[in-house]
Every structure is written in structure tokens, then in C-alpha cells.
Amino acid sequence: MKKTLYMALFLMSISSTSMAFDFKGIEVGGKNTTAREIEEALQPDYLKGIEGPYSRGIKCGEGIEHTTICDGSTSIGGEWAGANVSLSKDGVVTRIELTTHSYSFFKVVDVAVKKYGKPTKKSREIEQNGMGVKFANHTYRWQGKNGNYIEIIEYYPNFKNSKIYFGTAEDTKFKKRISEPKTKDI
């Protein structure tokens, strides 16, 4: 009985807030990652074993502020996804952004819940498009340690796509900095 109680308390203590978030073994906020590791790990399942110029779904290159940016195709939950990954000059993955078809949204959420546990926050917002049509847009969020998070949005930026975003506190600061009004360039 005591053993069962201790095991239950231990399992409850391992929540999504204390775990590191990774996608296909690439840890967001983790150190010492290389562009080659990202290219290999994020290769989509449907391209594995294929040789030649189209054998790698992700390609990495130089980004702004000494970062490496990796773009291309991967898969999540067996579904196609476009990927954008940011790797700092120190080898830290600061962002993994995936875009997939919106019809895959709940399948991706189910896969995420199985891997990361219950989301920290779920929301359903009523939004309106440019034509005046109102619709429900679901968002699931897992908040992790050190400001790391996962956010899955059903419709983003349109009805056709969903967004899966693995972010870090560093990426949040970067997005804020680049979106601030530029007053010195006038």
C-alpha cells in the first residue's frame, strides 16, 4: 500500500512543468545540438531510406544574429509538417515551429498528450475572419521549466493550417525585441 502511494506521489510530481520538451529527440533549450543532428532527427518518416537530392526533408543554413535556421518538411504523429528550427551560436535549440494541416490538429494534440501529459492550459476562443465568419479556435499549451513551452493552435494563420510551437524564454525575448517599433531607423 505504501509503495503504491509513493509511486502515485512520484508520478504526480513528474508533471509537464518539470519536464524538458523535445521533438524527435531534439530538446528545446537543450545544449550542444548541431545542424546535422537536426537534419537527421527531423527527417520525415516517409523519406527514410531514400537516397539522392530529395532524401533530406530539412536543410540548415545561416540565420540572423549568428543563428542557424533549419527549414523543410518533417512529420508529426504520422502527418506531414513544415518545420522551422532556430539554433543559437551556442548550440541551443531556441525554437521548433511546425505547421501542419488543420485536419490533423486533434491527432497531433492526442500524440502530444501521450508524450507530455495533460496540458497546462486549454482554451477555446471565438474568433472572426475577414469575411465576418465566426469560428472556435482551440489552443493547448504546456508550460515547462525555464520558460520553455509548447503551444498547439488549431487554426493558424488560417483555416487550412495548425501550428505546433516549441519555444524557449530566449525565443520569447527575441520575438519581443524584433517586433518592437524601430525608432532609430527614421
Residue 30 has pLDDT above 80, yes or no: yes
Cα(87)–Cα(14) distance, integer angstroms: 27
pLDDT of residue 3: 46
Strand 93-101, strand 121-128: pairing: unpaired
Q: Is residue 19's pLDDT more than 50? A: yes
One-letter amino acid for residue 163 of the chain: K
Q: What is the pLDDT of residues 139-167, one digit of tens each?
A: 999 999 889 999 999 999 888 999 999 99
Question: What is residue 55's DSSP assignment?
Answer: S
pLDDT in tens, 110-150: 999 999 999 999 999 998 888 888 889 999 999 998 899 99
Average pLDDT, the chain: 83
pLDDT for position 21: 93
